[in-house]
Amino acid sequence: MEAVATKNAVNDEKFLTFSLGKEEYGVEILKVREIIGIMDITTVPQSPDYMKGVINLRGKVIPIIDLRLKFSMPEAELTQETCIIVVEVNNTLIGVIVDSVSEVMDIKSEEIEETPNFGHGIDTNFIKGLGKTKGKIVILLDIAKVLSSVELEMVEEIAAK
């Protein structure tokens, strides 16, 4: 019985890893609801560039965000590997477009480094840490902080329509 309690205390986590350009990112698997292929996205007028619009997924309206644009990266051509990761943030489902999904990875707490300080004006609040595993670095995102509170309100309003 004690072994179970100790294991939970280690704080090992499972992350769904995906790529944007040459970088690998990870999001907590517990926040992921599903992974779907790209589908028709209805644009919403007067929304920011990275807010691609909404999709109808089995009767639910889900706002879609292009993570490349949100992170000030150039927009990429859609490929066979491009997909939407549906995550849950504050009880709202949000779809994020990524270049490709890699794998589900166990990353132990001792393999996670704190986010380095890049100086003033560079917001790294949404980065949970840097996972060093399998000889590479995975940028671990706190998906709830990727969007600001104002953006989350906008997404929640769109989803409620």
Q: pLDDT digit string (tens) for 27-55?
A: 999 999 999 999 999 998 888 889 999 99
**Phi/psi at 80 (5° precision):** -60, -30
β-strand pairing of 51-57 with 32-37? unpaired
Rounded to an integer, what is the distance from CA 121 to the centroid of its chain? 22
pLDDT at 5: 36
Helix intervals (H) in 20-78: 67-70
Q: pLDDT band at 118, cuts 50/70/90?
A: low
pLDDT at 9: 33
Q: Decide yes or no: CATH 3.40.50.300 for domain 12-160.
A: no
Nearest to 148 by CA among 75, 50, 54, 62: 50
pLDDT at 8: 34
Three-state secondary-structure class, residue 107: strand
pLDDT at 147: 77
Residues 6+ apart with CB under 8 A from 9: none
| Mean pLDDT confidence for 2-6 | 37
Q: pLDDT band at 116, cuts 50/70/90?
A: confident
Residues 6+ apart with CB under 8 A from 110: none
pLDDT tens for 55-95 read: 999 999 999 999 999 998 998 999 999 999 999 988 889 99
Question: Is residue 1 pLDDT above 60, yes or no?
Answer: no
3-state helix, strand, coil in the chain (%, to 5): 20, 45, 35
